């Protein structure tokens, strides 16, 4: 297959691109940034520098390349970024995605795997939550995700697009670009530095190891007939920050890590809403995908990769 990956230079887009190339698919990598890659031949990988807010650029790529499907990872990412510039995030995450849908419509490209987020749910009302949990996002990042999901349904009904939304919990692993848990904890532990996270010891959050995320994307991409357009993608278990620190201490015994009580705060500023585990049974049953990494296995793999 030939797959167009938006945001292909980012944490998740790059991981998905590597996996597609490794299994022999051709990739059209679309991103504002571009890097030199050595893992693909020119016939297998086309890199296009472009901005998803530019409809004509997307339409040209789509009409020229005619991919079989799209994996949509380009976005302004993170709750804090969305607060700094809500207009910009709406422009990129919502308007940019509409451009993508329009370009797909023009070129008759049907399937799009959209990387949505658990932030679309807002505060979890139960634990765990399934895909039928109400969407009540509270901040622009999650509001954009919910809006894109709904716009995807409009394009399905009006134009026959098939937009599959993966509501992903916090992804971690080698390459995580943001200064947040567990990256900051593991890096401090391996560098022999002390790190105190001011809040969040008891906040329970579901974290997804990057390899599980990639496997879920490929499973959704390859699935012949989707009965649903939304799947939770997570480990299925929530871990508190205190538990995470305990696990890291067993992996890096001299780690000097600690966390204060109270809810975790994004960037030590914005208090997170109530979270918990995501029920991943729909993806298990429908896609035949299951997370392989619980928190301990994921942190082990992450530490191993950084040590390498």
Ligand X SMILES: NC(=O)c1ccc[n+]([C@@H]2O[C@H](COP(=O)([O-])OP(=O)(O)OC[C@H]3O[C@@H](n4cnc5c(N)ncnc54)[C@H](O)[C@@H]3O)[C@@H](O)[C@H]2O)c1
Q: Which is nearer to ligand X, 10 or 291 (CB)?
A: 10
53 interacts with ligand X by CB under 6 A: yes
Q: What is the closest distance, in whole angstroms, from the C-beta atom of residue 85 to ligand X in the complex?
A: 12
Q: Which is nearer to ligand X, 160 or 267 (CB)?
A: 267
Tell me the C-alpha distance between 306 and 13, whole Å: 20
Residues 6+ apart with CB under 8 A from 1: 25, 26, 68, 69
Determine the size of the site formed for ligand X (CB under 6 A): 25
Stretch that binds ligand X, among 167-175, 182-190, 256-264, 283-291 (CB under 6 A): 167-175
| Binding string, residues 61-100; x marks residues near ligand X by CB under 6 A | ------------xxxxx--------------x---x----
- Unique residue bearing structure tokens 């998740």: 12
243 interacts with ligand X by CB under 6 A: no
12 interacts with ligand X by CB under 6 A: yes
Q: What is the closest distance, in whole angstroms, from the C-beta atom of residue 12 to ligand X in the complex?
A: 3
Among 18, 19, 51, 286, which residue interacts with ligand X (rule: CB under 6 A)? 51
State the angle between helix axes of 11-22 and 210-222 in degrees (0 to 180), rounded to the nearest 10. Answer: 60
Range 185-214, binding ligand X (CB under 6 A): none
CB–CB of 137/145 below 8 Å? yes
Residue 274 per-residue DSSP state:
P
Alpha-carbon distances of 165 from 198, 235, 259, rounded to whole Å:
34, 17, 34
Range 109-138, binding ligand X (CB under 6 A): 115, 117
Residues 6+ apart with CB under 8 A from 93: 75, 76, 141, 144, 145, 148
Q: What is the closest distance, in whole angstroms, from the C-beta atom of residue 5 to ligand X in the complex?
A: 10
């Amino acid at each position: 297959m030939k797959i167009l990956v938006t945001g292909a230079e980012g944490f998740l887009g790059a991981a998905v691109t590597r996996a597609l190339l490794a299994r022999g698919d051709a990739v059209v990598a679309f991103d504002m940034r571009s890097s030199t890659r050595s893992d693909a031949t020119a016939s297998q990988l086309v890199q296009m520098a472009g901005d998803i807010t530019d409809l004509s650029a997307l339409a040209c790529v789509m009409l020229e390349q005619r991919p079989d499907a799209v994996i949509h990872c380009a976005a302004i990412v993170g709750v804090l970024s969305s607060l700094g510039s809500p207009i910009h995030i709406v422009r990129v995450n919502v308007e940019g995605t509409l451009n993508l849908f329009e370009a797909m419509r023009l070129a008759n490209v049907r399937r799009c795997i959209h990387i949505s987020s658990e932030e679309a749910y807002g505060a979890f009302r139960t634990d765990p939550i399934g895909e039928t949990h109400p969407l009540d996002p509270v901040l622009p990042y999650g509001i954009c995700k919910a809006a894109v999901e709904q716009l995807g349904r409009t394009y399905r009904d009006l134009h026959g697009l098939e937009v599959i939304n993966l509501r992903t919990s916090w992804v971690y692993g080698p390459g995580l670009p943001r200064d947040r848990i567990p990256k900051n904890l593991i890096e401090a532990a391996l560098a022999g530095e002390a790190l105190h996270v001011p809040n969040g010891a008891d906040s329970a959050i579901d974290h997804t190891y990057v390899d599980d995320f990639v496997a879920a994307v490929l499973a959704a991409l390859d699935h012949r007939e989707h009965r649903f357009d939304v799947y939770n993608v997570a480990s299925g278990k929530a871990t508190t920050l205190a538990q995470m620190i305990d696990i890291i201490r067993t992996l890096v015994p001299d780690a000097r890590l600690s966390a204060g009580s109270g809810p975790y705060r994004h960037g030590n500023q914005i208090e997170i809403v109530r979270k918990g585990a995501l029920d991943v049974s729909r993806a298990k049953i429908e896609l035949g995908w299951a997370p392989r990494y619980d928190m301990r296995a994921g942190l082990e793999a992450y530490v191993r990769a950084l040590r390498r």
